[in-house]
Amino acid sequence: MIIGKVIGSVVSTRKCESLVGNKFMIVEPIPSMRVANRIVAIDQIGAGIGEYVLVARGSAARVGIEATPVDAAIVGIIDEGQNLE
């Protein structure tokens, strides 16, 4: 799991049928996570741009989303934390 900041969204009009109705956000991992690239994560909890979030990756991202081809999922919005920047 990583911590990141939502910096934007992605719009896709054509996608796998199991992804219809889902929102996709661009997440920038915080530097201390040492993840080099931004992540596109499915968002079923309603995170907004500028919020810090918890992102599950790999098979853990698919736990709550059966039969959906996702690699990253926003699983929490961080209310409070130290040294996030």
2-77 is classed CATH 1.10.150.120 = no
Task: Provide the pLDDT for residue 83.
Answer: 67
42: helix, strand or coil: strand
Structure confidence by residue, pLDDT tens digits, 59-84: 887 776 667 788 999 999 999 876 67
Amino acid found at 75: V
* Pairwise CA distance, residues 49 & 61, whole Å: 20
Q: Is pLDDT above 90 for 22?
A: no
Share of the chain above pLDDT 70, in %: 91
Whole-model pTM: value is 0.87
Average pLDDT over residues 28-41: 91
| CB neighbour list of residue 70: distance below 8 Å, 6 or more residues apart | 19, 41, 42, 61, 62
Q: Which residue type does 47 have?
A: A
